[in-house]
Structure 1
Amino acid sequence: MKPMLATLAERVPTGPEWVHEVKWDGMRVLADVRAGRVTLYARSGNDVTASYPELSGLGEDYDDMLLDGEVVALDGGRPSFAALADRMHVKDSRKAARLATVRPVTFMVFDLLRLFGQDVTGQPWTARRALLEKLDLDSRHWQVPPVFDDGAQLLAATADQGLEGIVSKRRTATYAAGRRSPDWRKKAHRTSLSVVVGGWRPETGSTSRLGSVLVGIPDGDGGWRYAGRVGSGLVGGAGKRLSEILEPLRANASPFADEVPREDLVGTTWVRPRIVVEVKSLGWGGGAGGSRLRQPAYLGVRADLTPEDLQETSDG
């Protein structure tokens, strides 16, 4: 079974038919408990049990259940995707066990899909939630976070606390496994950042239409550190206009001081780092030390800023 997915929301839904939860900055996981044995599945369906040995204790109190939630790693008391990155791809059991002691995870459980052999996905959210709360899942490594009636207030609170955002759920909704449903709606806090363009890649199926740009930030030594590839927001006219701006700036080599991942190099045309653009993202994660923008989206060219402006305002 694959998890139910939320749709993006322009605004938080209101009314008594909606309930709201914190959106955690982590990894979506289904925890399948059978005969006391726990198997963890990522959103892709891959078995990730070996990565999180501290969650094996979920099978000690209940023989059969299927839970949906988010695995998070806390850094300074707040979920950090960068902190979780060290755990996500570990397959060696001994290494995973060592990491579990120094960088433990917490499983934020928000839904119940099966209990004692009975599939409950056809029941409304309210019924599933009531059953989940009766399980009293509360330990150092897993918990059932609270839900809230006031979505706008929760959105403001998560912004103040530096959390990722919120998810709003229709109380009467059944669990649509593997589907993206308007009965679940997510609203994330995206941050805006000025970056310099160092290259571009063509749109899929084309050799000339711009599909994404490779961007960087000051590296503290007067150069540029690679920050990721931005494709969202560049469809249609936006991509065409940016392509026209970048065309005279073609270069023979990467302007980034560090190495660009091989998967981002395919088909790249390098440009001199002269154009500053604004992007929004979900913060930082992946790469060395969480050095890549998460889900970046293009907002536009910053004609009021030069690369030198970015270097001057860099903390170095």
Structure 2
Amino acid sequence: MGQPMPYPVEPMLAVPGELPIDRDRYGLEVKWDGIRALVHIDNGLRVTGRHGTEYTRRYPEISGFGVKNAVLDGEVVALDQRGRPSFERLQRRMHLTDPEPGMLELYPVTYFPFDLLYLDGTPLFDLSYRDRRSLLDELDIGAPPYFPGESDLLSATHEQGLEGVVAKRLDSPYRPGVRSPWWIKVKNLSTREIVVGGWKAGKGRRAGGIGSLIMGVFTEAGLTYVGHVGTGFTEVTLEELYAVLRPMEIARSPFANDVPWRNHWVRPDLVGEVAYTMWTDELRLRHPVWRGLRPDKIPAEVRL
């Protein structure tokens, strides 16, 4: 008799960072821009997310893969027309608990398994990542490959417009619910100038000041909203920005397109720089991080 299947399993998490120096001890996987999901296969199929969130009816495309008794860890992604993960497309599905056939056809999802945690009555948590991946590959269920740590996978993902890589120690066990330095997520980041068109009021520790900055770039239509940035600031930086932006406040939005939320608008006279992972199809900067003001730049020159 084997051991009972664990359910639900809380996924092991990666820490953000850079590629490790001792890269020969790691395997590299593509970082898929989707939603983490655990698939439990045993007389049926159940899909859960973090904190045991129930996903089974939400993503009926996920099947049993021809496996009878297993727990898989992986990512639910929605691919665009070029075959790249699109979080925008996934957002059309992620809040639908029982999607209609039309939504399944318009916004199909794919499951990419990248770890095997339990197989035929045997928990695999204490096996090394290398051994778990070997067993997963033997199942032949379409798991994306992993690459040697010395490979140039990060540059390849950047060229293909993908989010980055995850470096995983080859000898690392699986620790459910733990954010471990054995796994390191490394994102591809680009930088660009943006025009500050306003700010969103802060909450909590940022109450009474700036919560995030409203970003724009100039297009033929005028100043065009491309998102908001709320990370990368120190408290001192936010105080200094508030002192600069408060006297520049105006009554109406300077943007040519609609901007969500009620915001404080300012004259579009300041240029800043942000790091980001990619542009979305709706012309939004994904995962922007504030890097600082660029007083050497002219707003009219910040174009799409």
**Scaled by the length of structure 1, what TM-score is found?**
0.83
Deviation, 1:218, is 3.5
| Matched residue, 1:297 | 289
What RMSD over aligned residues (CA atoms) do the two structures have, in Å? Answer: 2.4
Does 2:100 align with 1:105?
A: no
Counting aligned pairs with the same residue, the percent is 38
Separation (CA, whole Å) in 2 of partners of 1:300 and 1:33: 49
Structure 1 residue ranges (4+ consecutive) displaced by more than 6 angstroms after TM superposition: none
Q: For this pair of structures, how many residues does the alignment match?
A: 294
Preserved CA contact (<8 Å) 1:82 1:284: no
Map 1:196-207; keep pairs closer than 5 Å: 196-200=195-199, 201-202=201-202, 204-207=204-207
Among candidates 64, 67, 90, match of residue 72 of structure 2: 67
Separation (CA, whole Å) in 1 of partners of 2:223 and 2:171: 54
Separation (CA, whole Å) in 2 of partners of 1:102 and 1:212: 33
Partner amino acid for 1:58?
A: G
Separation (CA, whole Å) in 1 of partners of 2:272 and 2:187: 21
* Long gaps (5+) in structure 2: 1-8
Separation (CA, whole Å) in 2 of partners of 1:99 and 1:284: 24
Separation (CA, whole Å) in 2 of partners of 1:179 and 1:260: 38
Map 1:233-244; keep pairs closer than 5 Å: 233-244=232-243
| Matched residue, 2:174 | 175
Structure 1 range deviating more: 229-238 or 165-174 = 229-238
Partner amino acid for 2:204?
A: T
User: Partner of 1:308: helix, strand, or coil?
Assistant: helix
User: Partner of 1:273: helix, strand, or coil?
Assistant: strand
Deviation, 1:44, is 5.0
Separation (CA, whole Å) in 2 of partners of 1:159 and 1:53: 31
Q: Return closer, same or farther for 1:294/1:49 CA change in 2, 3 Å cut-off.
A: farther
Separation (CA, whole Å) in 1 of partners of 2:21 and 2:89: 31
Separation (CA, whole Å) in 2 of partners of 1:250 and 1:136: 59
Deviation, 1:297, is 0.5
| Matched residue, 1:222 | 222
Separation (CA, whole Å) in 1 of partners of 2:265 and 2:57: 40
Map 1:253-292; keep pairs closer than 5 Å: 253-262=252-261, 265=262, 268-285=263-280, 290-292=282-284
| Matched residue, 1:186 | 185
Q: Return closer, same or farther for 1:240/1:151 CA change in 2, 3 Å cut-off.
A: farther
* Long gaps (5+) in structure 1: 138-142
Preserved CA contact (<8 Å) 1:85 1:290: no
Structure 1 range deviating more: 103-112 or 174-183 = 103-112
Deviation, 1:182, is 0.3
Separation (CA, whole Å) in 2 of partners of 1:281 and 1:176: 30
